[in-house]
């Protein structure tokens, strides 16, 4: 009886761990990328590729500025995309840029 309860407990722990891992993976996969045509992206001048930013419209922009080097970027250094404090629930390109760019400390 005790052996059976322990086995049941271990199976439940393993199952809940799998569900948590699957949930985290799904959350990462499910976060859509910000589209340049979205109203918020347009308002902030967001571009997926920092080299495509309109230099006339944003004269202070430099190609060395990208989301990966921005204070609001939440991705890891090697991630192609990650979260951003301004685009909640979405992902921005690590090579992207918007007019709210602020150098990471």
Contact region with ligand SF4 (CB under 6 A), list: 8-16, 22-30, 52-60, 92-100: 92-100
The candidate with the shortest Cα–Cα distance to 68, out of 98, 103, 94, is 94
Contacts of 58 (CB under 8 A, 6+ apart): 45, 99
In this chain, which of 47, 53, 61, 92 binds ligand SF4, going by CB under 6 A?
A: 92
- Neighbour count for residue 36 (Cβ, 10 Å): 16
Binding residues for ligand SF4 restricted to 38-77, rule: CB under 6 A:
46, 67, 70, 72-73
Residue 19: both structure tokens together: 């569900």
Q: Scan for tokens 């967001």, then name that residue.
A: 46
Binding to ligand SF4 by residue 81, rule CB under 6 A?
no
| Interface residue list for ligand SF4 (CB under 6 A) | 46, 67, 70, 72-73, 84, 86, 92, 96-98, 100-101
């Amino acid at each position: 009886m005790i052996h059976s309860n322990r086995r049941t407990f271990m199976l439940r722990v393993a199952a809940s761990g799998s569900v948590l891992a699957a949930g985290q993976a799904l959350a990462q996969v499910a976060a859509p990328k910000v589209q340049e045509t979205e109203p918020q992206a347009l308002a902030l001048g967001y571009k997926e590729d920092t080299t495509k930013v309109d230099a006339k419209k944003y004269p202070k922009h430099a190609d060395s500025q990208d989301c990966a080097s921005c204070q609001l970027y939440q991705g890891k250094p090697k991630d192609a995309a990650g979260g951003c404090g301004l685009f909640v629930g979405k992902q921005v390109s690590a090579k992207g840029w918007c007019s709210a760019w602020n150098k990471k400390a």
